[in-house]
């Protein structure tokens, strides 16, 4: 458990999740943002036909893995991976709808809502 940073209690009664520092939240949030950037860059690369989005795929995912590895020093793997994959999935879906004019059926929206609810129960038991 790191020392020095102001600790943020995720849930006062929880023993499953240790106190996570602000640094832990920043690392995991940045990791999620990089993963979403990588997925978005895949779409923009047009099958690796566009150079800069293709480069950004590798840069984004490399940075995401570095940040995730650092975040695991502060988060339990079971919690960090669930939050990373769940919120990354939901954010990528929102970007698909907002920027690429993709459509989601009600069943897709329900699935995304369940992912978000599931992540919230993992993150804040």
Spell out the domain ranges in the chain: 18-123
Q: Give the confidence band of 12 by pLDDT, cuts at 50, 70, 90.
A: very low
What are the phi and psi torsion angles at 7 (to 5°)? -90, 145
What are the b/e assignments for 99-117, b being 16+ CB within 10 Å? eeeeeeeeeeeeebeebee
| Token pair belonging to 45 | 């690369």
In the predicted model, is pLDDT for residue 3 greater than 80? no
What does the angle CA 105 – CA 106 – CA 108 come to, to the nearest 5 degrees? 65
CA distance 118 to 125: 10
As a whole number, the mean pLDDT across the chain is 88
* pLDDT tens per residue, range 55-94: 999 999 999 999 999 999 999 999 999 999 999 999 999 9
């Amino acid at each position: 458990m790191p020392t020095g940073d102001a600790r943020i209690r995720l849930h006062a009664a929880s023993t499953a999740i240790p106190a996570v520092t602000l640094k832990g939240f920043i690392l995991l949030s940045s990791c999620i943002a990089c993963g979403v950037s990588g997925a978005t860059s895949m779409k923009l690369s047009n099958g690796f036909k566009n150079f800069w989005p293709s480069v950004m795929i590798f840069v984004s995912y490399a940075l995401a893995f570095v940040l995730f590895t650092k975040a695991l020093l502060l988060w339990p793997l079971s919690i960090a991976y669930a939050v990373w994959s769940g919120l990354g999935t939901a954010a990528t879906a929102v970007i698909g709808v907002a920027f690429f004019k993709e459509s989601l059926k009600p069943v897709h929206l329900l699935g995304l809502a369940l992912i978000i609810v599931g992540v919230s129960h993992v993150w804040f038991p």
